[in-house]
Amino acid sequence: MNELLHDTAPDFDQPVAVLKHCHGRIRKQLATLEKLLVHLPEHGADQQARQAAGAVLKYFEKAAHLHHEDEEQDLIPMLRAVAQGEDAATLQALAPVILQDHKDMDAMWQDLHEQLTAIADGSGTQLSNSTVQRFSQRYLNHMEREESTMAPMAMRLFSPQQMAQLGQAMQRRRGILPPAAAIGERVADLRKDYGQASLDESEVADDPIRQFTRWFEEALKAEVNEPNAMGVSTVDEQGRPSSRIVLVKQFDERGFTWYTNYDSQKGKQLNGNPFAALLFFWSELERQVRIEGRVERTSAEESDKYFNSRPLKSRLSAIASHQSAPIASRADLEHNYEDVARQYGETPQRPQHWGGFRLVPERIEFWQGRRSRFHDRVVYTRQEDGGWTRQRLQP
Ligand SMILES: Cc1cc2nc3c(=O)[nH]c(=O)nc-3n(C[C@H](O)[C@H](O)[C@H](O)COP(=O)(O)O)c2cc1C
The predicted-structure confidence for 240-284, as pLDDT tens digits, reads as follows 999 999 999 999 999 999 999 999 999 999 999 999 999 999 999
Answer yes or no: is pLDDT of 3 > 70: no
CA of 354 relative to ligand 1 center, distance in Å: 13
Residue having the nearest C-alpha atom to atom 19 of ligand 1: 244
Looking at the whole model, is its pTM more than 0.75? no
CA–CA separation, 335 vs 330, rounded Å?
8
In this predicted model, what pLDDT tens digit does every residue of 259-271 receive, in sequence order? 999 999 999 999 9
CA of 105 relative to ligand 1 center, distance in Å: 42
Give yes or no for a contact between 244 and 264, defined as CB atoms under 8 angstroms apart.
Answer: no
CB atoms within 10 A of CB 343: 11
Residue having the nearest C-alpha atom to atom 31 of ligand 1: 245
Answer yes or no: is pLDDT of 346 > 60: yes
| Domain ranges within the chain, ordered by starting residue | 3-186, 208-393
Catalytic, 373? Answer yes
Task: Kindly give the number of the ligand 1 atom that is closest to the alpha carbon of 244.
Answer: 17
Residue having the nearest C-alpha atom to atom 14 of ligand 1: 246
Instruction: Give CATH superfamily name and number for 208-393.
Output: Electron Transport, Fmn-binding Protein; Chain A (2.30.110.10)
Q: What average pLDDT does this structure show over 210-227? A: 95
Exactly one of 186, 240, 373, 382 is catalytic; which is it? 373
Mutate which of 230, 233, 236, 247 for ligand 1? The one with the most ligand atoms within 8 Å of its CB, which is 247
Task: Give the CA distances from residue 296 to residues 234, 268, 277, in Å, rounded to whole numbers and listed in that order.
Answer: 13, 13, 13
Confidence bin at 142 (pLDDT 50/70/90): very high
Q: Give SS3 for 382.
A: strand
Can you name the CATH fold of 3-186?
A: Four Helix Bundle (Hemerythrin (Met), subunit A) (1.20.120)
Ligand 1 interacting residues, C-beta cut-off 6 A? 226, 229, 242, 244-247, 258-260, 264-266, 323-324
Give yes or no for a contact between 45 and 36, defined as CB atoms under 8 angstroms apart.
Answer: no
Answer yes or no: is pLDDT of 145 > 60: yes
CA–CA separation, 326 vs 133, rounded Å?
54
Give yes or no for a contact between 359 and 256, defined as CB atoms under 8 angstroms apart.
Answer: yes
CA of 227 relative to ligand 1 center, distance in Å: 15
Per-residue burial over 168-180, b if 16 or more Cβ lie within 10 Å, else e, is: bbbbebeeeeeee
E strand residue ranges, 77-224: none
Task: Kindly give the number of the ligand 1 atom that is closest to the alpha carbon of 260.
Answer: 11
What residues pair up with 388 in beta bridges, in sequence order? 382
In this predicted model, what pLDDT tens digit does every residue of 151-160 receive, in sequence order? 999 999 999 9
CA of 277 relative to ligand 1 center, distance in Å: 15
Q: Return the H-helix or E-strand segment holding 274.
A: none
Q: Pick from 82, 71, 68: which is nearest to 156 by CA? A: 82
Answer yes or no: is pLDDT of 70 > 90: yes
Mutate which of 244, 269, 314, 357 for ligand 1? The one with the most ligand atoms within 8 Å of its CB, which is 244
In the DSSP assignment, the letter for residue 241 is E
Give yes or no for a contact between 308 and 327, defined as CB atoms under 8 angstroms apart.
Answer: no
Mutate which of 260, 271, 323, 357 for ligand 1? The one with the most ligand atoms within 8 Å of its CB, which is 260
Confidence bin at 7 (pLDDT 50/70/90): low
CA–CA separation, 267 vs 280, rounded Å?
20
CA of 346 relative to ligand 1 center, distance in Å: 25
CA of 329 relative to ligand 1 center, distance in Å: 19
